[in-house]
Structure 1
C-alpha cells in the first residue's frame, strides 16, 4: 500500500512538472495581450471555477479550521503574489535571467522546510539540488546569450527574486494545511484567496479581454484549467506524501521540459549548452529523489 501511494505521488509530481513547464509557453502568448495582474486574475478565476465545480461534485465542503492559516498564507503568497510578480518580472528581464533567479526557489523551500517544518536535509537532496541548480544556470545563460544577448533590469531581477521567495513561502505554508485538509480543498481555497487578492486588476482584465486576440484568451484559460487547477492539485497531493524540500527539488525538471516544449511547439531549436543544462537539471532531480532501498523498505518518517 505504501509503495502504491509513493508511485501515485511520483506520478502526481510528474503531471505537475509537465503542466508547469507548458505554462511558460502559454504565458509567452497570453502575456503579449494581457498585463501581469490581469493575466494572473484571469488565470485564477478560470482555475477557481474548475476547482469549485469539482469540489461541489465531490461534496468535500469547507476545509477544517486548522487548515485555514496555511491556506490563507499560501493563497496570498503563491497564488497571488507569485503569479503577478513573475508575470511582471518576465517583462523586465530575459527568460534566461528569470530562470536563474526564480530557480533559487527550491533551495529556499529546503531551507525554510528545515527551519519551520523540521525537515531533514539529506546529502542526496543537497547534492541533487546543487546539480540541478547548475543546470538551471546553464540553461539560463544559454537562453540569455551568455549575458550578452539578453536584457535584465534591476527591477526585473528584484521581481523574480520576490517571486522565488513567495513561491517558497507558499509551499512551506501549504504543507501543514495538507495535514488537515484534502489536496482538493487546500488547492481550491488557496486559488480563491489568490483570486480575491488580485481583484484590484479586474478593470484591466475586462478592458484587455475586449481587445485581446482569441488565442491569448484561450491560453489564459488553459493556464487556469491545467497548470493551475489540475497541476496545483496534483502538487498538493504529492506534497502531502513527501517533504517540501524533496518536492521543491522536483521542479528543477521544469527548465529541461520547457526547452523540449519550446523546441516542439515553437520551433526554437536548443543549442548544445541548453541541452547540457537541461540534462543536468534532470540528473539533479534523479539524485534528489533517490534514496537508499533500506530506507524505503523501512518507511521512514521523511517519506510520510
Structure 2
C-alpha cells in the first residue's frame, strides 16, 4: 500500500473513531440537540469556504429537494439521534451499533432498488443483530435507558443507510466531494430549528466540551469524507469502505484512554459478533458487485 493511501486510511479511521468519545465529552456541557447543531454548522461553514475556494458549482434546482432530504437523513437525523443515544450508551458501544449501517443499506437496497439479498446476506444480518442483543445484555445499568439509547443509535444508522443507498446517481452526476458539501450544508439547514437557547449554553459550557464540539465540527464531520474519496479513487469503493470496520476498535481504545470506559466481556463478544455479521453481509455485496462488473466486461479492482 502506498504511504499516501495508508495515511488517508488512517486519518479516516482515527477521526471517525474519535467522534464517538468526542460526543461524550461534548455532552458534559451541551444538550444533544445543541451539540448536533453546532457540529453541523461548524462543518457546513468550513465546507462553504472550501466550496468558494474550489469554485464548486451549485446543484441543479431540480435536484435540490432530494439533496435536502438526503442531507436531513444522512446528517441531521444521524447526528441528532447519535447524540441523544450517547446520553445513555457509552462511546465504544455506540460505534459498534453504528457499524450495522451496511446491513441496513443492503436491506434498503433490496426493498427499494430490487437488489438481490442472498442467504449469506441474511445470515450476516441475523448474526449482527444477535451481536447487538448481546451488547445490550452485556452493558448492565438501566436496561430501559440503554435500550432507548441503543434504539436511537440504530435509527441514526438507518438514517445514514438511506443516505448511502440513494446517493449513487447523484455521486455520478456531481462527484463525491461536491455532493458531500451539498448534503452537509443541507443537513445543517434543518438543524437551525434547535438554535434557540444555544447562546446561553455556549456561555456556560466548559472549555473542554466547547473544544470537543469544535473538533467534531471541523474534523470527524468533514475531513474523513475527503480522505475516503482519495482512497476510493486509488483502490476502489469496496476496498475503501471495508477498512472502516476498524473504526469501532479505534473508538473503544480512545474511549478507554480518554473516558475510562471499559466494556464488559459480553459486550465485547457481542461487538465481535456484530462485526462478523456485517462482514458477511459486506462479502455478499462485494460478490454481487463483482458478478455484475464481470457481466459488463470489467472487474472492480
- TM-score category (smaller protein): 0.7 to 0.9
The answer to whether residue 196 in structure 2 is matched with residue 203 in structure 1 is yes
Pairing 1:243-262 to 2, within 5 Å after superposition = 253-262=246-255
Give deviations 1:186-227, integer Å, cap 9, x for gaps: 111111111111112223222211111111111111111222
Shift, 1:26, TM fit: 0.5
The answer to whether residue 66 in structure 2 is matched with residue 80 in structure 1 is no
Shift, 1:289, TM fit: 4.3
What is the number of equivalent residue pairs in this alignment? 291
| Contact 1:17–1:253 (Cα < 8 Å) also in 2 | yes
Shift, 1:14, TM fit: 6.8
Change (3 A) 1:169 1:207: same
Instruction: Say which of 95, 98, 107 aligns to 1:111.
Output: 107
Instruction: Say which of 61, 73, 91 aligns to 2:57.
Output: 61
Matched with 1:90 is: 86
Can you give the 5+ residue segments of structure 1 that lack an aligned partner in the other structure? none
Q: TM-score, normalised by structure 2?
A: 0.76
| Contact 2:85–2:153 (Cα < 8 Å) also in 1 | yes
| Contact 1:46–1:225 (Cα < 8 Å) also in 2 | yes
Pairing 1:190-229 to 2, within 5 Å after superposition = 190-229=183-222
C-alpha distance in 2, partners of 1:260/1:157?
A: 20
Pairing 1:98-137 to 2, within 5 Å after superposition = 105-137=101-133
Change (3 A) 1:163 1:281: closer
Matched with 1:39 is: 35
Give deviations 1:86-115, integer Å, cap 9, x for gaps: 322333x44498678766543322111123
Aligned Cα RMSD in Å? 4.0
The DSSP-based 3-state class of the residue aligned with 2:173 is coil
Instruction: Say which of 169, 172, 175 aligns to 1:179.
Output: 172
Can you give the 5+ residue segments of structure 2 that lack an aligned partner in the other structure? none
